[in-house]
Amino acid sequence: MKIAFRIYSDVLQDRRETIEALIHSRAGVAFALKMFVIVMLIAGLGQWFGIPVAIQQPLLSERIQDLGDTIQDIGNQAIDTIDEYMSTISQENLPETLTRLINDLISQGVKTGVKSLQRSMIEAGVPPEQLDQLMAQVIPLEDPFSAQVTGLLAIPLHERWFTSRFGLRPEQIVWVDEQINAVADRVNEAIDQAQAEAELLEPPLGARTSRLIRLFGRWLSTPFTSVSGWLFVALVGLLVAKLLGGRATVAQHLAAVLLAAGPAVLFFVAFIPIMRYVLPLPYSMAIHYFGRVLALIAIGWSGLILLKTLAVAHDFSFWRSAGALALTWLFLWVIIPAVSFAALAYVWGG
């Protein structure tokens, strides 16, 4: 273990003797592979910072519950707003005498209201004989009117506005009120049902436990997902190096590339996911960009080691090794696309 750590340290320090001993030994590739896997698993540990996110992220059933609460809050706020608005306008734009009349009728009962009506008529200068005729008509209506007003008294203020504005009868107001409540009940029922079905969809081991297990699986895959993009580049690099007179075998060349991944432990911070539900967004973004800075350092450091390891593996000078890397880039981004385009143009053009 101590010697392995010393070898790793020598690779990071770009020591030629150690690199030469590894690449030109039979087990050099095995050591390089093991080193790469361990380094990437250590770097991939940054993903475990996602554990609080995995635990605190709401489940589908919890999201549905939140949605239902939000709908209820919106509904209640809407009704409160209407109530407030109606109570304001029901007292505006009416003559003072009529306002007093309505208040008397509603708050003090019909009989008091009738007396108030009589008083109002006298104040308005209605002749006594006309007043007697009017009272003779109003008083027999007291009982049915009283029933109507009693119905009005039972209805909240916003519904009284509907009564006065649209001429709806009290029993119609009650029916509308019942329909509104029935819709609200149906919405609540649908949300409860959706929540119950969302709970049925959860994995057998539980959603949060499953998230943790999958996080473990993603961590185990880190070496494979990291290398998959680079292996093709490494193989093209091998072709280019061979064209330049390189002497390494496939195994030695790949060992040289894998040894250059030594500084990849600096990718640890870059693997930390965005910590929603745990940290404020500015801190998450700071971690993300700090991780990219460290990753840039790791890439530069790996590049320097790669120049040495390729030079040792292929028996190149430093500058020949740099030329091989530059040519590899040229092959991938210029020559291969150009040749492919030319081939397609030839076949299509005839």
Partner 1 sequence: MSEQVELAGVRAVASVSAREVDDSTGALRLLRETLLLNDDAYAVVRDASSSLWRGFAALLWILLFTIVARGLALFFGMLTSPRLDVLQTQIYEMLTSLGFYQAQVQQSPGFADQFRWGYAGLWEGIRLLGGYPSVVGTASTAISLLIYLLLGWLVYGLVVHVVARWMGGRASLGQTLGGLALAYAPLLLTVIVIVPGARVPASLIFLLILVARFQAIKTVHRLTPGYSLVALITPYLISLVLLIGVILFGLAYAAAQIPYLQPFLQGWLLFNTFNWLW
Interface residues with partner 1 (CB under 8 A)? 3-4, 6-7, 10, 17-18, 21-22, 25-31, 33, 197, 200-205, 209-210, 213-218, 220-221, 224-225, 227-228, 231-232, 235, 242, 249-251, 254, 350
**CB contact at 8 A, 325 and 310:** yes
Nearer to partner 1 among residue 108 and residue 193 (C-beta): 193
Instruction: CB nearer to partner 1: give 201 or 274.
Output: 201
CB of 231 to partner 1, least distance (A): 5
Nearer to partner 1, 58 or 203 (CB): 203
Q: Which is nearer to partner 1, 203 or 300 (CB)?
A: 203
Q: Return the structure tokens found at 335.
A: 């020559």
CB of 36 to partner 1, least distance (A): 12
- Specify the residue for token string 């209820």: 72
Q: Tell me which residue of 212, 215, 222 sits closest to 42, measured CA to CA.
A: 222
Q: How many CB atoms lie within 10 A of CB 211?
A: 18
Where do the DSSP E strands lie in 47-137?
none
In angstroms, the Cα distances linking 177 to 88, 171, 182, 183 are 21, 10, 9, 10
CA–CA gap between residue 265 and residue 146 (Å, rounded): 86
Q: Under 8 Å CB-to-CB from 191, ≥6 apart: which residues?
A: 64, 65, 67, 68, 71
Q: Which is nearer to partner 1, 19 or 110 (CB)?
A: 19
Backbone Cα Rg of the chain: 42
CB of 211 to partner 1, least distance (A): 8
**DSSP string for residues in 289-309:** HHHHHHHHHHHHHHHHHHHHH
Nearest CA-CA partner of 304 in 15, 109, 27? 15
- Least distance in angstroms from the C-beta of 328 to partner 1: 15
3-state secondary structure of 120: helix
- What is the amino acid identity at position 279? L
Judged by beta carbon, residue 170 or residue 246, the one nearer partner 1 is 246
Q: How far is the CB of 35 from partner 1 (least distance, A)?
A: 11
Q: Which is nearer to partner 1, 31 or 268 (CB)?
A: 31
Residue 31: C-alpha distances to residues 23, 42, 191, 221 (Å) = 9, 16, 58, 19
**Residues in contact with 122: Cβ distance below 8 Å, sequence separation at least 6, in sequence order:** 131
**CB of 15 or CB of 119, closer to partner 1:** 15
Q: How far is the CB of 18 from partner 1 (least distance, A)?
A: 5
Contacts with 28 (C-beta within 8 Å, 6 or more apart), sequence order:
21, 22, 252, 255
- Closest to partner 1 by CB, 34 vs 165, is 34
What minimum distance in Å lies between the beta carbon of 224 and partner 1?
5
Cβ 43 to partner 1 shortest distance, Å:
16
Alpha-carbon gap, residue 83 to 7, rounded angstroms? 78
Shortest distance, position 278 Cβ to partner 1, whole Å: 20
